[in-house]
Every structure is written in structure tokens, then in C-alpha cells.
Amino acid sequence: VQVPEGFTAVMSATSWEKQKDNTFVFKMSQPIPSYLIALAVGDIVSADVGPRSRVWAEPCLIEAARKEYDGVIEEFLAVGERLFGPYVWGRYDILFMPPSFPFGGMENPCLTFVTPCLLAGDRSLVDVIIHEISHSWFGNLVTNATWGEFWLNEGFTMYAQRRISTEIYGSAYTCLEAATGRALLRQHMDNTGEDHPLNKLRVVIEPGLWGVPVLPQPAGGSGGRRGAVLCSLPSLGRFGGAGDILGEGTGCLGSHARCRVHKTHPSSPFLTAGFEFDRWLNTPGWPPYLPDLSPGEQLMKPADELAELWAADGLNMEVIEAVDITAWRTYQLVYFLDQVLQKSPLPEGNVERLSKMYPKISKAQNAELRLRWCQIVLKNNLEAEYSKVKDFLHSQ
């Protein structure tokens, strides 16, 4: 690839070199499907953040990216290897895209593309990368044979993400994060209707269903449903786990092929009433079973109780002020805001007082907090803070 002088090209490849005339030569030694081939060209530089990882970004962002991810990625990779086997791709680099990039991340092998929203400044969103790293085994090493079986790709990746997160952060934090995802899934299904044809595991891809002639892959809205069901399997019956999926090497998965969650085994979850295999795959709606998130209660209960206090007609400020949220991690704050949003609109004046009391939330630069605060502002018609919504929309 020859690019203009002063520009750099990067690609989802295992090796690359720069030659004369600003020509970049790339080699991908692993077989990959076409959707994982990615190339970026621009005024970008890099910084090492681990023995096999570097971050790429525009010069104005590179130092922030280095500080945010220095030493972090190698820990995620090492835990993934311990759980799921060798990381076969050599390097794991991250490219921070412009703010217009419309996804959290895209798991291009060797070079994940991510949103700059992940540069929160306090490492509070670095664990989002665990999902993209998990795709190194589920989605990149093996992938769905057709887009109708996309649940295999995202579902097992969510399962792997939860396993890695539990190893590093503990079950309480992982369950809290999962509860946040469940709230998004509930919001998605409320917006689309549970019976929408996309709200099932196996999706029929055909013209007209999506409102456009062709879409290369299902949107991420129901990905949480896939993850929710797969994370239930170990507790419901015989599920050999990653070894059953990866043992046969690189290739494609079909829902009846290498995924050895047996329909007929005596302890199979698919013999549980209401969880029959065909219904599990082909019926839209809320998952028939959900993972047990009770280990997260120690983090969720204080947030639930505080949200209840702020939703009351008469605010009990003495009790509210006794709750110290300064030590709450980002996903605990996110969970709290999700509960406030569900209860909105709040009684008149409550959101204004909440905004003044928690500048950590109402003036946050963290994209996850900003998003939810903007939704609360709109749901409660808080015109004094509409400018924050405008600023957020202009920046992302």
C-alpha cells in the first residue's frame, strides 16, 4: 500500500514493513474471513504498551492512549490464554479511531479498531477491550458460517468476556457489568418489541427485514440476548466450554456442527421445559433463562436504594447525603443512572438537585456516564442542561 508522505498505513496483519516511497507491505499468516480484513491510513503514530501490544492514534491522542492502556492488555491476553488456549495472532494492537467511528470496537485480528470514548482518563473503561480480545478465540479463530448464525460469534465472545472479567475483577464486578448489559437489552426490547424478528438467536437475513436491501451483519442490539443465554449454559447442564468449540482448530461454526452443547444428553439444558433447542434458537423475546447475577448484589443494592431515594416525592436529604458515592466505580455509577432513567421522569426538582449534588456524574467526561446523564436530562425535560446533550452529540 503506497500512501501520501507523512501518512502511515496500518492493517489487520501479523507483520508489516515500511519501504521506500512510503509504501507499506503487510502479511497475514493466518487464514481469516473477508469481514476481518481492515486497513487504515492517516496521520497516526504508535506507542508500546506491552510486550506484544501497542496503541495507535493521532499524535494529539497518543500519550493519553499510552497512559490508559500501558500494562493492561498483556494481563487480559494472559488470562485469556490460560482459559482458552494460545493466542495465535502474534500481536494485539489497538487503533483509536476518530469520534465518528460508530462502534465500541471492531475485532480486526492483530489490530482492534476502537472508539476514542474508551480514553476516559482514569482507566475506568479499559475492560471494554476484554470483549474485543475475547474475539481472538471466538469470532476470529472460529466464526459463524453465515450471518444468520451470528449468535455463535457474539454469544461465545460474551461468555469468554465474562470468564476473563471474573478472573481479573471478581464475580461481583462482572455481575454488575452484566446487569448493565441486561438493562440495555431490556431497553432495546422495549423499543423494538419483544416479538421483533431480530430479537432471537438465529436471525433470517433477507431483503426487506432490515429496511435496507443488504446489511452485512446483524446489529448489536440483541447481542446481549445471545450472551445471556450462553452464560446460562454452565449452570443449566452439560457444557464442555471453550475446548469443545476450539479443539478442532480454525474454521467456521454452524449451529448444528462443532458446538457440542448436546440436545439429547440427559443433563442437557435443552431438555429443560421451556428451553427446548428449537425455541432457544428460533423464538424471539426475552431469554428463557438468565445468568444468576446475585454475586453483584453487594454493588447493585446500594445503587438501587439510592435511586429509590431520588425517585421519591419528598427527598430525604439526610439519608441521601449519608451515601458516599465517591468510591463507586464507573459501572456502579452507570447502574445507578440506569435505575434513575427507568424511574424517570422524577418528581419536579429532583433531577436539578441530583445534578448539583453529584458533579462527578453531571459533569463527567466519561462517555458511559455522559450518555446516561443526557438521557436523564431529556427524559426529565431539564432544559437548563440541554447544552450538555448538544455537546455530547457534537463530540461523538
Residue 274's pLDDT is what? 62
CA pair distance 82, 73, nearest whole angstrom: 14
* Tens of pLDDT, residues 330-349: 889 999 999 999 999 999 99
CA pair distance 295, 166, nearest whole angstrom: 11
Reported for 374-377, long-range contacts at CB under 8 A and 24+ positions apart, including other chains, are 375/341, 376/337, 376/340, 376/341, 376/344, 376/351, 377/351
Confidence tier at 255 by pLDDT (50, 70, 90)? very low
Residue 188 annotated as part of some ligand binding site: no
Q: Where are the domains of the chain?
A: 8-122, 200-208+250-283, 294-394
Whether 390 has a pLDDT exceeding 80, the answer reads: yes
Residue 84's pLDDT is what? 94
Task: Determine the Cα angle at 219 with ends 225 and 262, to 5°.
Answer: 40
Q: What is the mean pLDDT of residues 35-64?
A: 96
Q: Which of these, 374, 138, 371, 169, lies nearest to 241 by C-alpha position? A: 138
The percentage of the chain sitting over the pLDDT mark of 90, rounded to a whole number, equals: 57
Q: What class, spelled out in words, does domain 8-122 have in CATH?
A: alpha beta
* Tens of pLDDT, residues 357-385: 999 999 998 999 999 999 999 999 999 99
* Tens of pLDDT, residues 155-164: 899 999 999 9
Residue 180's pLDDT is what? 87
Specify the DSSP element, H or E, that contains 306.
helix 297-311
CA pair distance 181, 73, nearest whole angstrom: 22
Reported for 299-306, long-range contacts at CB under 8 A and 24+ positions apart, including other chains, are 299/172, 299/173, 299/175, 299/176, 299/332, 299/335, 300/175, 300/176, 300/179, 300/332, 300/335, 302/332, 303/328, 303/332, 303/333, 303/335, 303/336, 303/339, 304/339, 306/336
Whether 286 has a pLDDT exceeding 50, the answer reads: yes
Whether 96 has a pLDDT exceeding 80, the answer reads: yes
Whether 205 has a pLDDT exceeding 80, the answer reads: no
Whether 150 has a pLDDT exceeding 80, the answer reads: yes
Cell 494472559 maps to which residue?
78
Residue 135 annotated as part of some ligand binding site: yes
Residue 212's pLDDT is what? 39
Q: What is the mean pLDDT of residues 303-319?
A: 95
Q: What is the mean pLDDT of residues 175-182?
A: 90
Residue 166's pLDDT is what? 95
Q: What is the mean pLDDT of residues 255-269?
A: 48
Q: Which residues are catalytic?
A: 132
Strands (E), 216-329: 251-253
Q: Report yes or no: 246 and 142 within 8 Å, Cβ to Cβ.
A: yes
Q: Which of these, 16, 98, 92, lies nearest to 58 by C-alpha position? A: 98
Whether 144 has a pLDDT exceeding 60, the answer reads: yes
CA pair distance 136, 148, nearest whole angstrom: 21
SS3 label, residue 138: strand
CA pair distance 120, 65, nearest whole angstrom: 10
Is it true that the peptide bond before 345 is cis, omega within 30 degrees of 0? yes
CA pair distance 117, 95, nearest whole angstrom: 12
**In one letter, which amino acid is 298?**
Q
